[in-house]
Chains A and B, each alone.
Chain A
Amino acid sequence: MTAMPKARRLDVSAYIACFYGVVWREVLRFLHQRERFLAALVRPLVWLFVFAAGFRQVLGVSIIPPYETYVLYEVFVTPGLVGMVLLFNAMQTSLSMVHDRETGTMRTLLVSPFPRSFLLVSKLLGGVAVALLQVYAFLLIAYFWEIEPPLIGYVTVLPALVLSGLMLGALALFMSSVIRQLENFAGVMNFVIFPMFFASSALYPLWRIKESSPLLYEICRLNPFTHAVELIRFALYAKVAPAPLVIVAGFTAFFLAAAIYAYNPSKGLIGRRGAPRNGGA
C-alpha cells in the first residue's frame, strides 16, 4: 500500500512550513482585530493603574526573591498580570477551537495530512504567539509606569512565557473539550479564570496568604497558575525558579496529552458529545 501514486513525503521542512503557516495565520488574524488587542491591553492596565495603585497602601511587600529591595506593589503584581494576559488569551484560543471544531475553520486545519497532535500543538503555540504580542505591549507601557526589570529580563522571560502560555492553552483546551458548560465565556470567567487568578500568587505573595488561611495557601500551591506566575516573576529578573520550572513543564506535558486526547474529535471525549450541530446530519 505504500507505493500508491502521487504520495508525497512530508519531511522536516514540510513540518516547519506547516508550523510556521499555522502560527503566522494566528498572528495575522490577531493584528486585524484591533478591538481584541485593545481589550487585551486595557484589562491588565486597569489592574495596574487602578487596583494596584489603591492596593499599594494596604499591602506592603517585604523583600522576597527575586526582588533585592523593597518593591512597590505595582512591581510585585506585574508578573501576575502578565499571567492574567496569558490566561485570558489561552481561554479565548481554546474556546474558539472547541467552538469551531464542527465548522470550516477547525475542519480545514484537521483535514491537513499532518498528525493531529502536531496540528493542535501548532495551533496552541499560535495562540501563545498572539499572547506574547499582548504581554510585550503591556510590559512596554508598564515600563513607563516605573516597572523596570533589567533589560535582559525581557529576553529571559520569553521561554517562561511560552511554556506557561502553552500550559494554560492546553489546560483550557482540555477543560473546554470535556465540560460543555465551559463553552461560553461567562462560564469560563466564573469557574476558571477568576478562581485560578485569585487563588494564586498573582496578587499577593504566598506567605501572606499562609498567614491568613493555611487552607487557601495549600490551594494556591496546587494551582498550576501560581507556578506559572512564579516562573515568570523570576525569569523577568533573569533568574530561574527551579521548582516552578519543573512543575510547569510537567503540567504542560500532562495537559497537552489530555487536551489532544479529549479534543481529537475522532478519538476523544468530544466526539461522544453528539452529532454535528451545523445543518444536515
Chain B
Amino acid sequence: MALSEGQETSIAHPSALEVRRVSHRFGAKTVLDEVSLDVPQGAFVVLLGPNGAGKSTLFALITRLYDNVSGEIRILGHDVRRHPMAALQQLGVVFQSRSLDGDLSVMQNLTYHAALHGFGRREGRRLSEAVLAMVGLVDRARDKVRTLSGGQARRVEIARALLHDPSLLLLDEATVGLDIASRESVISIVRGLARERQVGVLWATHLVDEVDPNDQLVVLHRGRVRYSGPALDLVAGVKADSLRTAFMHVTELDQPDA
C-alpha cells in the first residue's frame, strides 16, 4: 500500500481511500505537508502519529469538514470535493468525540443515522439490527445509550458507521478512554470486519501498542508522512528491537529544529 508517485489505481478496482499530495494550513501554520496514503479495499491500515501530528486535520479533510485546497482525496474513486454525494455514501466514520445521544435508545440513534443516509424507518430498523448483531449488541437495542459502558458505546458507533455499507471506515482514536479489555475487543472487531466485509479501514491512533506487526502502517509526524509500508519493515529498516523504538526513531529525526 505504500505507493510510489504516479502509481495508477485502476478505475475498475479503486482503493477504498486514496490521498494524494494533500497539504493544509491554518493561517501560517502548515498542518499537513504533501500527505499521500492509500487504503486498499479490505485492508487495515494504521495511521500512527503523536498528538498534533495532523491526524484529525486529515480526517477533517477526508470527511469534508474542510475542503482540501491542494491535492486530491478519493473515496472508492470518487473525489470528495467534486462528487461529495457519491464519496460520502461510501464513507463510515467513528469520531474521536462521542457522538451518540445518551438520552435516546441505541435503536433510535441508529435509525437516525440510517435516515441521514436516506433510509426510511423500516429499512433503517432492519439495517440497524443487522449491524448490531455484527458488534454483538442486539440485546441492548432498546436501552438508552447512557446505560452502555464506554466500550459498548464505541461498538454502537462502529455499528453505526457501517450501517450504510460503506467501503471505507475511518476511526479517529477510537479506543481513547477505554479500559484494556474493551480496547482489545474494539480493535479485534474492527480487524475482523475489514476482512469479512472487505471494508478498507484507516485506524488513527497515537498508541504504538495498537499496531500489529503484520499491519500496514503510515507514520504521520508534524504533518508529514515519515513512513509508509508494512509495520515489520519499519522495525527492520531502522534496525530497532521493537516497533516502539522504531517509531521513536522516525518521529525524532527532526527534533533538533523544534
Binding site for B on A (CB under 8 A): 1-2, 4-8, 10, 13-15, 17-18, 20-22, 24-25, 28-29, 32-33, 102-105, 107-115, 265-267, 271, 274-276, 278-281
Verify B117–A281 contact, CB threshold 8 A. no
B64 interface residue (CB < 8 Å to A): yes
Q: Give chain A nearest CB distance to B154 CB in angstroms.
A: 12
Interface of B is mostly: loop
Report Cα–Cα, A20/B116, bound state, in Å: 9
Residues of B within 8 A of A266 (CB): 64-67
Interface of A is mostly: loop
Nearest CB in chain A to that of B77: its residue? A4
Residues of A within 8 A of B98 (CB): 104
Report Cα–Cα, A29/B84, bound state, in Å: 29
Verify A28–B118 contact, CB threshold 8 A. no
Nearest CB in chain A to that of B120: its residue? A17
In the complex where A107-B99, A113-B88 touch, is A4 in contact with B76 (Cβ < 8 A)? yes
| Number of B positions contacting A (CB below 8 A) | 58
Residues of A within 8 A of B67 (CB): 266-267
Q: Give chain B nearest CB distance to A217 CB in angstroms.
A: 45
A-B contact number at CB 8 A: 151
Quick one: which of A8, A14, A109, A281 contacts B54, CB cutoff 8 A? A281
Verify B57–A276 contact, CB threshold 8 A. yes
Q: Give chain B nearest CB distance to A28 CB in angstroms.
A: 6
Report Cα–Cα, A109/B173, bound state, in Å: 20
Verify B83–A1 contact, CB threshold 8 A. yes
Verify B118–A1 contact, CB threshold 8 A. no
In the complex where A110-B64, A280-B55 touch, is A33 in contact with B103 (Cβ < 8 A)? yes
Report Cα–Cα, A22/B124, bound state, in Å: 14
B148 interface residue (CB < 8 Å to A): no
Q: Give chain B nearest CB distance to A143 CB in angstroms.
A: 30
